[in-house]
Structure 1
C-alpha cells in the first residue's frame, strides 16, 4: 500500500506478475490486505500468489528492529499474509506460489527467521544492485525437488532484487535451491499438494524463459484442477506436490 499526492493510499500489483498469470491462462484477482474475513475471499479464487514487497517487521521473528537498512514495513500486510500462509499450510489445498518477500513471509509464518541485511553476512551482495535494482544471478535447484519437476531444469539464471534472506529455516520446510553464495533461494513444504516459494522473481523473465513461465503454467493448471475438485468433492487429486 502506497501514498500519493492524489490519494492517501492505494494497492497495486506490478504488471509482470499479472502478465505471467495471464499467459498461463489465469485471471489475476487482487485480494486487499486487512480483510478480517479473508477466508471468505478465498472462496472466489483457486490459487494464491504472494508477491514481493517491503521488509517484514523483525519483531515478527525476534530480529533487530533497530537495523538502519529496514524499509517498507507494513504491519497490516505482515499480519494479513502471515495469517493467510499459516492457514494455507495448516489444511487448505490452494496451490500457492510465494515470490521474494512471499518466501520470507512463509518462512517467518512457520517459525523461521531472517537476515535483516545480506551485506551483514556477505560483503558483496549479488542479490541486489547498488541502487536497489535488479541483478541477474545463477541458482542451483535440487534435482529431486518438486520445483525441479515443475521447471524441468536445475541450473537457472534468475532476476533478483532483495537485501534480506532466510536465516533459520522454518521446521516444516526444506531447502530446494541455493545461490552461489549459499543464500537460500527456494523452499518447499513437504506434504502440501502444491506450494512453491522462491527468493528470485520468476515473473521478470517468464516471457523469455520457458522454465520460469512453467511455474505459473503449473500453478494455474493445478488451480483449475483444484476448482474442479472443490465443485466435485469426490474427485481425486491428480499429480503430486512437494515430497
Structure 2
C-alpha cells in the first residue's frame, strides 16, 4: 500500500466551472508526493479540536503544509505591519492544529515556505514580518521575484545546509539552489526545533524538530523537483518516513 499523505488544503474562489468555492492543493505538491510513491489527499480546512485533529491524522501517514499568504502576526504576539498580506486566521489555526496533531501521532511533517512559518508559530516561535526591514537589507540576496506576490514564479538563490542534519540527509547534500518566493522568515526558532539552513546573506532557510521527523524549508523544492533530483529527494525522504508510519499499523 502507498502511504497516504495529508495536504492541508486551501479554499479557492468560485469559477464558471466549479460554480462555488473550491478546496485545493497545488499540483506541484501533489505531483512531488506522487513521484515519491505517496498518495496525496487534500484535507478540507475546518475547525478542529485537538481530539478531532488526532482522529483525523490517525487516518494519514504524513502531513504536508504548503506555501501561501502570511501568518496572522497576532498568533505570535505582534500587530500586523503594513507589509503583511493574505492573512486567513482560520487557516492558520487549522494548520497549527494539524501540525501539532501530527507530532503527537508520530507522523512525519514536511512544511514548505508559509508551512515552515506556521509550524514555527504553532510550536511557540516568531517571525520577521518583512525581511526588507532587517539591518542587512542592502546585502540580501533576492528572496522573491519582482512585483511580489505577483510577477515571476520565483527567485533562485543558494542555500547552505547544516552537515549531519535531517534535512541534509534527506536532500543528499549540504548545498543547494532553492526556488524562493517569500518576504518573511523565522525570527525566534520554536522550542524543540533547530535552525539547519541559511541563505548566502545569513537569513534562515530551514528548521527541523529535534525529536520528530519534521522538516521545514523556506524555499520551494516542489517547484523544481521534476527536473532536480536533489529537490525531489526531500519529498522522497518524507514519504519514506511516512511509509514507516504505515508499516506500524
* TM-score, structure 2 normalization: 0.86
CA distance in 2, matches of 1:81, 1:70: 19
Could you tell me which runs of 5 or more consecutive residues in structure 2 were left unpaired when the two chains were aligned: 1-10
Aligned to 2:220: 201
Deviates more, 1:31-40 or 1:70-79: 31-40
Structure with greater proportional strand content = 2
Q: Structure 2 matches for 1:71-82, cutoff 5 A?
A: 71-82=85-96
CA distance in 2, matches of 1:29, 1:57: 26
3-state SS of paired residue (1:168): coil
CA distance in 2, matches of 1:219, 1:107: 18
- Give me the CA root mean square deviation: 1.5
3-state SS of paired residue (2:58): helix
CA drift of 1:221 comes to 1.6
Could you tell me which runs of 5 or more consecutive residues in structure 1 were left unpaired when the two chains were aligned: 232-243
CA distance in 2, matches of 1:206, 1:227: 24
Task: Give 1:161's match in structure 2, choosing from 181, 186, 197.
Answer: 181
Is the 8 Å Cα contact of residues 96 and 122 (structure 2) preserved in structure 1? Answer: yes
Is the 8 Å Cα contact of residues 98 and 197 (structure 1) preserved in structure 2? Answer: yes
Task: Give 1:188's match in structure 2, choosing from 208, 214, 220.
Answer: 208
3-state SS of paired residue (1:44): coil
Is the 8 Å Cα contact of residues 16 and 203 (structure 1) preserved in structure 2? Answer: yes
CA drift of 1:70 comes to 1.2
Aligned to 1:56: 71
Q: Which runs of 4+ in 1 moved over 4 A?
A: 5-8
Task: Give 1:28's match in structure 2, choosing from 19, 25, 40.
Answer: 40
* TM-score, structure 1 normalization: 0.88
3-state SS of paired residue (2:12): coil
CA drift of 1:39 comes to 2.8
